[in-house]
Amino acid sequence: DTRSAELTKYAANCMLATKISFMNEMSNIAEKVGADIEAVRQGMGSDSRIGYQFIYPGCGYGGSCFPKDVRALIRTSRGIGYTPKILEAVESTNNAQKNKLFTYLNKYFNDKLHGRTIAIWGLSFKPNTDDMREASSLVLIKSLLQEGAKVKAYDPESMEECRRILYDNNLILTESKEEAVIDADALVICTEWSQFRAPDFDFLISNLYEKLIVDGRNMYDPKLMSEKGFLYYGIG
């Protein structure tokens, strides 16, 4: 029936958003107790009742569907006198997670980001699109600019979209991922584009002043990063 079909659409997207926020919450717990969220994810996913889909921790979900549908079902629920506690927690957790990358940077630089140059790889809310609606990169860039940092950013598809959304003298959009890194203090990865999976690590070592990588999508092996001389912050 029509009513059930409508709710099914919202419920499906809200379930997927819930899985993402749940894993992000687990990643925050893992950091505090000394666990590795990637090992936890593999263990969880091996349970056939759970599986591996949508249990990847990261820097928060974005796009046009998940944020909109979670908020829509929250408003609908409140409008009929029901408090959707789980959905409210999903949205709250996601909003907090989008600040995670900035928190890592701010802590490392002891609240002194003014004058620093931060390279960002990935602007879209997910790979293979130019869509930046509610992307985690936007939260990070705005926070960095507010603190007086310079941002050098690159994305394979979203450069024009970024120019349309953001304009600031301290935001530089580069022609390549390598150009973004030159003379930067740190590198942050916001989107897991395939071309970021196997970068020239020697080039990064030579051009990053602080040898700092903040990986919002857990693309690299922390042990390998340590062996290569990086200070590496992943999620969880």
Active site residue 65: yes
Residues 234, 101: Cα–Cα separation, whole Å: 9
Residue 149, token pair as written in the block: 């940092």
Among residues 14, 59, 65, 190, the one annotated as catalytic is 65
| Per-residue DSSP letter, 195 | G
Compute the half-sphere exposure of residue 159: CA atoms within 13 Å on the CB side of its CA: 14
Any alpha helices (H) in the chain, and if so which ranges?
Answer: 2-33, 37-45, 66-79, 85-97, 100-108, 136-146, 159-165, 177-181, 201-207, 222-227
Q: Is 173 helix (H, G, I), strand (E, B) or coil?
A: strand
Tally Cβ neighbours within 10 Å of residue 72. 14
Instruction: For residues 122 and 129, give the distance between their C-alpha atoms in angstroms, rounded to a whole number.
Output: 11
Q: Catalytic residue positions?
A: 65
